[in-house]
């Protein structure tokens, strides 16, 4: 495929010129798993899904039919190439749920095409990509929501309000439990499934053979191989994602940062205390290419501002434990517990405390928050800048484990101190024909 040129859109006004009663026109790019979740949320939030794009024709057609049969709505237009979506001036915003290695490129091109963007977490594959997205958000003025939807789940917002309100005293330690994954067996080269454009799926990543074992994943993510270097299992490969560290860490470390008020700063040091890579590495790169290669088990210590110790661990309860001078609380998707939580019965949070943390009236639908921000011409609850501060911790943790050593970090310059080899991992090369092009805003109008 030739170089993907940036679409030069003219609709920089988009939803901002509509009345409050208008339904925004959305398109989803990347449909399997979370792609359907956010599409469904957008429909519930009052958006019209007018187009879909995916490199796998099977999920593309299945999702279009699902919208018709389950939602009783008009069938969206379907495209194998997301750039066809960006060419349409009637589309106000895009929902991006592709594998991580595509996020930055599609997001940037969408903003230059005049679209507001909702992109799944983790937003980037590298720290350099995060900086680039920040630049384009600032240059284009687009609204950009990251899909860290725990920010729109009440128990997490309440936990943040409690920590910020001093209910556990001075914070000393926060532990983010994000679970491990099991390393894979050897995954052989296999025929590319019918309907999947494997070269386009790889996109900016290096060109490699498709690999898969025949066992099919059931339930969430079902209908695809349980072990592969594509589809659902892309999360376990350096080339496309950041393993469990960025997959679940993007949720829990984000909440921890939010509560600590550390979304405008960063750590000073990252130390891998105990970890096991899925395969042997040399100079930070896996020595084999036929198995998952990200970290399987790990415990990483992060030195945060104000002397707070953060632990990111694959063992223990999935969730976030805040420990302070006056008590501790634990929060996950199923509960918010601890003595300070029990004390709320007799000493509740001040009226409006949750809304104050949320930055406005709380809504349990993350896409509703996105639409409200678009109409107001503002940034939503999961903005690019705060998310990138979380990802800096997670990307640095992965680099530290790949190299097997601690890293000192300058949160102002946003670079690793005194380690040229580690700094080389802050960016990546894009496969020829899939580079990110950066036109000026004037040329994109």
Q: What is the pLDDT of residues 166-220, one digit of tens each?
A: 999 999 999 999 998 889 999 999 999 999 999 999 999 999 999 999 988 876 5
- Delineate the domains of the chain, giving CATH numbers in brackets: 14-149+433-444 (3.40.50.720)
**Whether the Cβ atoms of residue 223 and residue 257 lie closer than 8 Å to each other:** no
Cα 424 to Cα 88, 182, 210, 417, 444, distances in angstroms: 38, 28, 27, 12, 31
* pLDDT of res. 443: 55
The stretches of 72-121 forming alpha helices (DSSP H) are 83-86, 103-112
How far apart are the C-alpha atoms of 12 and 288, rounded to whole Å?
46
DSSP code per residue over 359-416? TSS--S-HHHHHHHHHHHTS--SS-HHHHHHHHHHHHHHHHHHHHTS-EEEETTTTEE
* pLDDT of res. 14: 44
Instruction: Establish whether the linkage from the previous residue to 345 is cis, with ω within 30° of 0.
Output: no
What value does the CA radius of gyration of the chain take, rounded to a whole number of Å? 21
**Whether the Cβ atoms of residue 416 and residue 396 lie closer than 8 Å to each other:** yes
How far apart are the C-alpha atoms of 211 and 109, rounded to whole Å?
29
* pLDDT of res. 218: 76
Nearest alpha-carbon partner for 270 in 403, 177, 148, 172: 403
Which residues 6+ apart lie within 8 Å of 349 measured at CB?
158, 161, 162, 165
Torsion of the alpha carbons at 364, 366, 372 and 374, rounded to the nearest 10:
180
DSSP code per residue over 258-270? HHHT-TTS--SEE
Structure tokens at 272: 């891998």
Measure the CA angle with vertex 224, ends 221 and 201; round to 5°.
Answer: 95
Structure tokens at 69: 């049969």
Element (H, E) at 422: helix 420-423
pLDDT in tens, 242-299: 999 999 999 999 999 999 999 889 999 999 999 999 999 999 999 999 999 999 999 9
How far apart are the C-alpha atoms of 33 and 221, rounded to whole Å?
5
How far apart are the C-alpha atoms of 89 and 12, rounded to whole Å?
9
**β-strands 269-277, 171-177 pairing:** unpaired
Residues of the chain predicted below pLDDT 70: 1-21, 219-221, 440-445
* pLDDT of res. 245: 97
Nearest alpha-carbon partner for 433 in 240, 210, 203, 208: 203
């Amino acid at each position: 495929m030739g170089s993907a040129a940036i679409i030069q859109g003219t609709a920089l006004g988009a939803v901002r010129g509509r009345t409050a009663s208008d339904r925004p026109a959305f398109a989803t790019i990347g449909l399997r798993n979370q792609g359907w979740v956010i599409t469904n949320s957008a429909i519930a939030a009052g958006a019209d899904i007018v187009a879909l794009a995916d490199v796998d024709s099977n999920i593309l057609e299945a999702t279009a039919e699902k919208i018709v049969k389950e939602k009783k709505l008009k069938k969206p237009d379907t495209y194998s190439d997301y750039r066809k979506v960006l060419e349409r001036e009637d589309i106000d915003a895009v929902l991006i749920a592709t594998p991580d290695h595509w996020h930055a490129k599609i997001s940037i091109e969408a903003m230059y095409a005049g679209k507001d963007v909702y992109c799944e977490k983790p937003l980037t594959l590298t720290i350099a990509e995060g900086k680039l997205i920040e630049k384009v958000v600032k240059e284009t003025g687009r609204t950009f929501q990251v899909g860290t939807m725990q920010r729109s789940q009440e128990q997490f917002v309440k936990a943040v309000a409690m920590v910020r309100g001093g209910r556990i005293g001075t914070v000393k330690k926060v532990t983010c439990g994000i679970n491990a994954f099991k390393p894979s067996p050897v995954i052989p080269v296999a025929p590319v499934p019918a309907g999947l454009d494997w070269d386009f799926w790889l996109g900016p990543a290096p060109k490699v053979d498709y690999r898969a074992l025949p066992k099919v994943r059931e339930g969430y993510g079902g209908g695809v191989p349980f072990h592969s270097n594509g589809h659902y299992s892309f999360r376990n490969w350096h080339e496309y994602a950041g393993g469990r560290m960025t997959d679940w860490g993007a949720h829990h470390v984000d909440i921890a940062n939010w509560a600590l008020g550390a979304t405008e700063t960063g750590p000073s040091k990252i130390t891998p205390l105990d970890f096991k890579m899925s395969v042997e590495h040399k100079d930070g790169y896996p020595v084999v290419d036929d198995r998952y290669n990200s970290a399987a088990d790990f415990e990483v210590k992060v030195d945060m501002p104000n002397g707070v110790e953060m632990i990111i661990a694959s063992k223990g309860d999935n969730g976030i434990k805040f420990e302070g001078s006056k008590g501790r609380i634990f929060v996950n998707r199923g509960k918010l517990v601890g003595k300070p939580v029990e004390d709320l019965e007799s000493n509740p949070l001040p009226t409006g405390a949750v809304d104050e943390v949320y930055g406005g009236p709380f809504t349990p639908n993350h896409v509703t928050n996105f639409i409200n921000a678009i109409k107001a011409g503002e940034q939503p609850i999961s903005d690019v800048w705060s998310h990138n501060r979380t990802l800096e911790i997670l990307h640095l943790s992965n680099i530290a484990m790949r190299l097997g050593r601690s890293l000192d970090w300058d949160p102002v310059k946003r670079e690793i101190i005194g380690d040229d080899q580690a700094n080389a991992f802050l960016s990546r090369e894009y496969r020829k024909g899939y580079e990110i092009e950066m036109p000026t805003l004037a040329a994109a109008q």
